[in-house]
Amino acid sequence: MAPKKLYIKTYGCQMNVYDSERMAEAMGGEGYETTERPEDADMILLNTCHIREKAAEKVYSELGRYKGLKAARPDLKIGVAGCVAQAEGEEIMRRQPMVDLVVGPQSYHRLPEMEAKVRSGGKALDTDFPEEDKFDHLKGRPKAKRGPTAFLTVQEGCDKFCAFCVVPYTRGAEVSRPAERVLTEARDLVERGVREITLLGQNVNAYHGHDGGLAGLIHALAEVDGLERIRFTTSHPNDMDEALIEAHGTCDKLMPYLHLPVQAGSDKILKRMNRQHTAEQYLRLIERLRAARPDLHLSGDFIVGFPEETEADFQATLDLIEAVEYGSAFSFKYSERPGTPAAERPQVPEDEKDDRLQRLQALLTKQQRSLQDAMVGRDVHVLFEKPGRLPGQMVGKSEYLHAVHVETSGIVPGDLARIRIESSGPNSLKGVMYPL
């Protein structure tokens, strides 16, 4: 029998990218191959994001686009997975009756049986937070070769309850996967060609599946032969313990790049966000990290226009950014999320938010560019990932996560090489093999 075809569209964070891979692998066991074209699919699965209003609305407009396909081929099955599935559940089927299946992020191991149910004409909905660990029940990853970088989820959920955020509701309480299982999966990925692993968790540095916490897991992973680079994301400042700070100085395989969101620079706003730390505490933490690893590049997330944010509060965010100097950053206008405490507070007008976002992004872009330009003349190590657009060109990432283009014939994906940076463009660096 010809394999059935699965089209997965992934929205949102890297954890969704990882989950989509795992779902595709689980469905492989049910005779599905993935396709890049929704029109060829027997099943369309949207792996959704609920973090901001726009992200959630995108799902409904995307579903609308499949109406014609579904009308032409009624046996096409349509599923919604991810955080919108978790947050809205049955409401999705009410709004879009053509949806056959709704599955929340903690129930992906039940996807094969849900698929069988919809195949026989039923509807399937599962948004439970089951006791069992979905990863124990998801089929093992197949042995096929893959690219040199991979995500690996080690922790899920969040107990922090920042006042703006839906994650504690959509992903549930913090859960860590046991270190042994993470190590087995990492070894397996390395056998399949992976050289760099990014450990994922909504609050990854609160990981407790190893006696030594996340630092313990990183040191254990560093022992895996063939694994050259380790990264992790996303971290909360309050869970950056001494061992993890130290690891940045002592573990060669841990890359000098850290995503450490602060969200805002005003203590009043940080308090109302329920972040549980001040701007000063964050800055002291950065100092300790830089003492452990002086060349550390920092990345952050920022929200502008949080309820009751004044111009002076916003200025405090700009001041904090000036003090830190970020190598990269993500910034958002505050988006009201139903059910979160901040949604009940007095809102900042939309045009104010637009104006602040523009000013914030101008500063962040300037910093990003100046740190990137400062790489010119320096040597970096690049893990090559794929051919570039020009013939004979390869692209990879430096330890600081800058994209680096090199014109060379002797390099294949998965190679690590020392590269001298010669120029800096809008989004990437260009370099030559070293020694020349």
Question: Residues annotated in the binding site, as ranges?
Answer: 13, 49, 83, 158, 162, 165
How far is Cα 411 from Cα 394, in angstroms, rounded to an integer?
A: 7
Measured from the CB atom, the residue of 286 and 303 that comes closer to ligand 5AD is 303
Q: Is 254 in the site for ligand SF4 (CB under 6 A)?
A: no
Taking the complex as a whole, the smallest distance from the CB of residue 318 to ligand 5AD amounts, in Å, to 16
Each residue 22-61 as x (binds ligand 5AD by CB under 6 A) or -, in order, gives -----------------------------xx---------
What are the E-state strand segments in 112-259?
A: 124-126, 149-153, 155-156, 175-176, 196-200, 229-233, 257-259
Q: Which does 160 bind (CB under 5 to 8 A by kind): ligand 5AD, ligand SF4, none?
A: ligand SF4
Q: Is 356 in the site for ligand 5AD (CB under 6 A)?
A: no
Sign of CA dihedral 161, 162, 168, 173: negative
How far is Cα 422 from Cα 419, in angstroms, rounded to an integer?
A: 9
Helix residue ranges, H only, 120-212: 134-137, 167-170, 179-191
Q: Is 329 in the site for ligand SF4 (CB under 6 A)?
A: no
Binds ligand 5AD by CB under 6 A, chosen from 198, 235, 317, 335: 335
Q: Within 222-241, which residues bind ligand SF4 (CB under 6 A)?
A: 236
Taking the complex as a whole, the smallest distance from the CB of residue 202 to ligand SF4 amounts, in Å, to 4
Both tokens of residue 103? 């599955």
Q: Is 326 in the site for ligand 5AD (CB under 6 A)?
A: no
Taking the complex as a whole, the smallest distance from the CB of residue 314 to ligand 5AD amounts, in Å, to 15
Q: Which does 104 bind (CB under 5 to 8 A by kind): ligand SF4, ligand 5AD, none?
A: none
Read off the amino acid at residue 100: D
Q: Which does 161 bind (CB under 5 to 8 A by kind): ligand SF4, ligand 5AD, none?
A: ligand SF4
CA atoms within 13 A of residue 307's CA, in its CB half-sphere: 17
Write the secondary structure of 190-202 as one string of H (helix), E (strand) and C (coil). Answer: HHCCCCEEEEECC
Q: Is 382 in the site for ligand SF4 (CB under 6 A)?
A: no
Measured from the CB atom, the residue of 176 and 203 that comes closer to ligand 5AD is 203
Q: Is 303 in the site for ligand SF4 (CB under 6 A)?
A: no
Measured from the CB atom, the residue of 139 and 345 that comes closer to ligand SF4 is 345
Of the candidates 365, 366, 273, 269, the residue with the CA atom closest to the CA atom of residue 315:
269
298, 285 in Cβ contact below 8 A?
Answer: no
Question: Coil, strand, or helix at residue 276?
Answer: coil
Q: Is 203 in the site for ligand SF4 (CB under 6 A)?
A: yes
How many binding residues for ligand 5AD (CB under 6 A)?
12
Q: Is 179 in the site for ligand 5AD (CB under 6 A)?
A: no
164, 273 in Cβ contact below 8 A?
Answer: yes
Measured from the CB atom, the residue of 358 and 423 that comes closer to ligand 5AD is 358
Taking the complex as a whole, the smallest distance from the CB of residue 161 to ligand SF4 amounts, in Å, to 6
Binding segment (CB under 6 A) for ligand 5AD, from list 135-143, 152-160, 271-279, 333-341: 333-341
Q: Is 168 in the site for ligand SF4 (CB under 6 A)?
A: yes
Return the C-alpha torsion angle 401, 372, 413, 222, nearest 10: -30
Q: Is 202 in the site for ligand SF4 (CB under 6 A)?
A: yes
Residues paired with residue 403 on neighbouring β-strands, in sequence order: 397
DSSP letters, 24-84, are HHHHHTTTEEE-S-GGG-SEEEEEE--SSHHHHHHHHHHHHHTHHHHHH-TT-EEEEEHHH
Place of tokens 């004409």: 121
Sign of CA dihedral 127, 129, 133, 135: positive
Both tokens of residue 277? 């730390």
Binds ligand 5AD by CB under 6 A, chosen from 66, 334, 384, 400: 334
Taking the complex as a whole, the smallest distance from the CB of residue 263 to ligand 5AD amounts, in Å, to 5
Taking the complex as a whole, the smallest distance from the CB of residue 163 to ligand 5AD amounts, in Å, to 9
**H/E stretch holding 234:** none
139, 26 in Cβ contact below 8 A?
Answer: yes
Q: Phi/psi of residue 28, each to 5°?
A: -55, -40
Residue nearest to ligand 5AD as judged by C-beta position: 301
Question: Coil, strand, or helix at residue 407?
Answer: strand
Query: Binding site for [4Fe-4S] cluster: which residues?
Result: 13, 49, 83, 158, 162, 165
Residues paired with residue 197 on neighbouring β-strands, in sequence order: 150, 230
Binding segment (CB under 6 A) for ligand SF4, from list 29-37, 101-109, 162-170, 323-331: 162-170
Q: Which does 7 bind (CB under 5 to 8 A by kind): ligand SF4, ligand 5AD, none?
A: none
Q: Residues in the site for ligand 5AD, rule: CB under 6 A?
A: 51-52, 164-165, 261, 263, 301, 303, 332, 334-335, 337
Q: Residues in the site for ligand SF4, rule: CB under 6 A?
A: 158, 160-162, 165, 167-168, 202-203, 236
